[in-house]
Amino acid sequence: MDNPGKVAKKTAPAFSRTTKSAQYDAGGKQVVCLHCGAAMFTEGAVSASAVGMVGLFHVLDMASTLVCTHCGYVQWFLKRPQRR
């Protein structure tokens, strides 16, 4: 079982990814794939400094990614999406 109360920021490699797929909300709205419309994603995290994109992510060092399990399209979020 996951521990939903723990959203600790941790030092991560340049790109990390979970293997579990789930549905997510971002900005109070369910995330759907922009390419195929599917709603199941695997979540990942990218360290901006580790991939040389610090200027792009000037607010946070870490960005979250959601990878569509159906087509593989990657969506980026600077605020971590909430798992449903």
User: Interface residues with Zn ion (CB under 5 A)?
Assistant: 33, 35-36, 38, 68, 70-71, 73
84, two tokens = 């449903």
Return all residues near 47 (Cβ < 8 A) that are at least 6 apart.
Answer: 12, 13, 14, 15, 61, 62
Minimum gap (Å) between residue 63 Cβ and Zn ion: 19
We find the least distance from the C-beta atom of residue 58 to Zn ion, in angstroms, to be: 29
Tokens 């569509």 found at: 68
Pick between residue 21 and residue 61 the one whose CB is nearest to Zn ion: 21
CA distance 67 to 81: 12
Nearer to Zn ion, 26 or 38 (CB): 38
12 or 74: CB nearest Zn ion: 74
